[in-house]
């Protein structure tokens, strides 16, 4: 807005309205519609910055034409334009360039608004804009899932078909390790080796936010195999199961490492226990052998002493 427009505005209230609307459009992309929302404290704070007199009451809505003219002047001054639903490409372009936001609708809404404000677009009402954004979001989401599904190769598809066909296959993957022992770890190791052969890490994971992948994985974890078979569209179902297999591979490998550490600790504990038992047995055996040897030595010593005294007595008797 040109400086003379602010200076030529009649009265402090109109000047404050210009200032408030400029701040609001810059920050939120929208104008204030209800002046009662702006407190006297905020108005006087702005008055001090504009070197104007303080006021002691709230602002009120003015003439409709003057309010509209003020908004138009402010848009021209700041370089803002109206949002065009028919010719809009900003929202769809933003969603395509930011596929990681696919996991959270509320986050998308906030990010899109900020993006449009930076592009100097006067935002329509929040509800109307969000309906439009969500419609574009759904369209973009489907396109991303279809693009991801197209990257699934034949080997991976055969594995998916095995998951859908075999009633016991998916529950076997979902089954926890349970008690840490060689048998349970070996069974999980076979499943992990099969999943690693799929090379799921080569899929375009940059299209899907990690939190969205985890969300899809959690959904599969709740469904049984019959529910997955009925799920449409098949592209989304395949991506969901792939996400589950991918997340399961990572999680199970972490569990395998922890289980292996626990198993080795248990083996070490048992070895140490057996070693201590054997060592204690050997020590007891050695102690018993030593005791018997000492007893034998004492018996020999006592026997020699008795023989010595016997000979002395006999010598004394003979001499007499």
pLDDT tens, 150-159?
889 999 889 8
Both 215 and 260 in one domain: the answer is yes
Segment among 75-79, 220-224, 233-237, 291-295 with least mean pLDDT: 291-295
DSSP 82: E
Both 264 and 160 in one domain: the answer is yes
Q: What is the pLDDT at residue 101?
A: 63
Cis peptide upstream of residue 233 (ω within 30 degrees of 0): yes
Q: How confident is the model over 191-208, as a mean pLDDT?
A: 84
Q: How confident is the model over 117-139, as a mean pLDDT?
A: 86
Q: pLDDT, tens digit, for every residue of 271-305?
A: 778 878 887 888 888 788 777 777 777 776 666 66
Segment among 219-228, 231-240, 293-302 with least mean pLDDT: 293-302
58 occurs within a structural domain: yes
21, with CB counted inside 10 A (0-12, 13-18, 19+), is buried
Both 233 and 221 in one domain: the answer is yes
- Indicate whether 192 pLDDT > 70: yes
Q: How far apart are CA 17 and CA 223, in angstroms?
A: 56
315 occurs within a structural domain: no
Domain termination residue (choose one: 150, 177, 201): 150
135 occurs within a structural domain: yes
Opening angle at CA 192, ends 187 and 194, nearest 5: 100
216 occurs within a structural domain: yes
Q: What is the pLDDT at residue 106?
A: 67
Both 126 and 210 in one domain: the answer is no
Q: What is the pLDDT at residue 4?
A: 43
- Indicate whether 34 pLDDT > 70: yes
245 occurs within a structural domain: yes
Both 127 and 158 in one domain: the answer is no
Q: pLDDT, tens digit, for every residue of 99-120?
A: 666 556 667 778 888 999 999 9
Q: How far apart are CA 231 and CA 217, in angstroms?
A: 15
Both 101 and 64 in one domain: the answer is no
Q: What is the pLDDT at residue 311?
A: 58
231 occurs within a structural domain: yes
Q: What is the pLDDT at residue 122?
A: 92
Q: Structurally, how many domains does the chain consist of?
A: 3
Domain termination residue (choose one: 110, 129, 150): 150
* Stronger pLDDT, 247 or 308, i.e. the higher one: 247
Which band of pLDDT confidence, cut at 50, 70 and 90, is reported for residue 177?
confident
Both 137 and 37 in one domain: the answer is no
Instruction: Count how many residues are written for the chain.
Output: 320
Both 166 and 239 in one domain: the answer is yes
Q: Can you give the residue range of the structural domain that contains 190?
A: 154-273
- Indicate whether 17 pLDDT > 60: yes
Q: What is the pLDDT at residue 80?
A: 93
Both 246 and 233 in one domain: the answer is yes
312 occurs within a structural domain: no
Both 56 and 137 in one domain: the answer is no
Helical residues (DSSP H) of 151-200, grouped into ranges? 154-165, 169-174, 182-196
Both 25 and 113 in one domain: the answer is no
Both 198 and 255 in one domain: the answer is yes
Q: pLDDT, tens digit, for every residue of 58-115?
A: 777 777 788 888 888 889 889 999 998 888 888 888 877 776 665 566 677 788 889 9
290 occurs within a structural domain: no
Q: What is the pLDDT at residue 1?
A: 44
- Indicate whether 237 pLDDT > 80: yes
State residue 225 phi and psi, 5-degree precision: -65, -35
């Amino acid at each position: 807005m040109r400086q003379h427009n602010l200076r030529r505005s009649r009265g402090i209230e109109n000047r404050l309205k210009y200032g408030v609307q400029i701040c609001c459009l810059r920050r939120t992309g929208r104008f204030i519609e209800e002046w009662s929302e702006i407190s006297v404290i905020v108005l006087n704070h702005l008055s001090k910055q504009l070197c104007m007199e303080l006021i002691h009451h709230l602002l009120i809505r003015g003439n409709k034409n003057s309010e509209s003219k003020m908004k138009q002047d402010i848009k021209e001054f700041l370089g803002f334009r109206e949002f065009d639903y028919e010719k809009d490409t900003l929202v769809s372009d933003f969603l395509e360039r930011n596929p990681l936001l696919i996991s959270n609708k509320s986050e998308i809404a906030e990010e899109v608004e900020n993006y449009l404000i930076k592009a100097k677009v006067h935002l329509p009402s929040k509800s109307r804009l969000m309906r439009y954004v969500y419609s574009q979001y759904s369209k973009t989401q489907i396109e991303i899932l279809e693009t991801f599904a197209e990257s699934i190769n034949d080997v991976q598809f055969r594995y998916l078909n095995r998951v859908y066909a075999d009633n016991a296959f998916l529950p076997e993957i979902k089954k926890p390790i349970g008690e840490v022992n060689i048998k349970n770890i070996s069974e999980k190791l076979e499943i992990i080796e099969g999943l690693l052969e799929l090379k799921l890490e080569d899929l375009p994971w940059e299209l899907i936010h990690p939190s969205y992948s985890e969300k899809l994985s959690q959904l599969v974890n709740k469904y049984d195999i019959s529910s997955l078979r009925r799920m449409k569209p098949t592209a989304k179902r395949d991506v969901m199961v792939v996400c589950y297999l991918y997340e399961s591979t990572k999680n199970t490998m972490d569990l395998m490492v922890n289980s292996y550490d626990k198993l080795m600790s248990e083996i070490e504990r048992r070895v140490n226990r057996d070693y201590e038992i054997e060592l204690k047995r050997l020590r007891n055996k050695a102690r018993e052998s030593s005791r018997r040897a000492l007893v034998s030595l004492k018996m020999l010593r006592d026997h020699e002493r008795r023989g010595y005294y016997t000979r002395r007595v006999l010598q004394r008797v003979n001499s007499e």
